[in-house]
Amino acid sequence: MEAALLWFCNWSTLGVCAALKLPQIHAQLAARSARGLSLPSLLLELAGFLVFLRYQCYYENPLLTYLEYPILIAQDVILLLCVFHFNGNVKQAVPYLAGFVLSWFVLSLQKWIIDLAMNLCTFISAASKFAQLQYLWKAQDSGAVSALTWALSAYTCAILTRFVIMLALNIWVTATVLRYRKPAVKAE
């Protein structure tokens, strides 16, 4: 039963990621606007995906463990080009895209660089979400932002919720063990 659940979680996450940004791209094209989308949020998200993909490739992990990332990167690049298109200047995307291509090579120059970047990935991803939230709070207008894309993204994260809960409980048990540890009696 657990193996079937794991299989379902893995493949459903991959399936959702394959279509994750499509509602957002569709919403932008339908509205012919990038209103409500935070460029810094998108750039941070793309950077985080790139680091994760590069890390997986660097350590030659099996493709199925990270297959969703090339798909997500391709969708984010399309989304980025749409944002620049609807903001009136696609040429402004060129330095960002060049920076991402350059970073692909820089990340693997030294092992410590890729390891450090991977350790920062969670912070990069969180910063991306906060940048989008800040943009929405400031504008008080969600414009062409797709709620479906964000809901699908929440689904992919929900799969990992079990691990976060187990982490918190393990830390709690560790703290409790340390709290109730009796001092060792010294022999005289």
| Residue 188 forms part of a structural domain | no
In a domain, 187, yes or no: no
Domain that holds residue 92: 1-180
What is the reported pLDDT for 163? Answer: 67
Residue 39 located in a structural domain: yes
Please check whether residue 186 lies inside any domain of the structure: no
Average pLDDT on 92-108 reads: 94
pTM: 0.82
Residue 12 lies in a domain: yes
Amino acid residing at 11: W
For residue range 13-52, what is the model confidence (pLDDT) as tens digits? 888 888 899 999 999 999 999 888 999 999 999 999 999 9
Counted domains in the chain? 1
Q: Could you tell me if residue 59 is inside a domain? A: yes
Residue 8 CA to residue 16 CA, distance in Å, equals 12
**Does a structural domain hold residue 185?**
no
Q: Is position 70 within any domain?
A: yes
Q: CB under 8 Å to 96, separation ≥6 — which residues?
A: 43, 80
CB atoms within 10 A of CB 56: 18
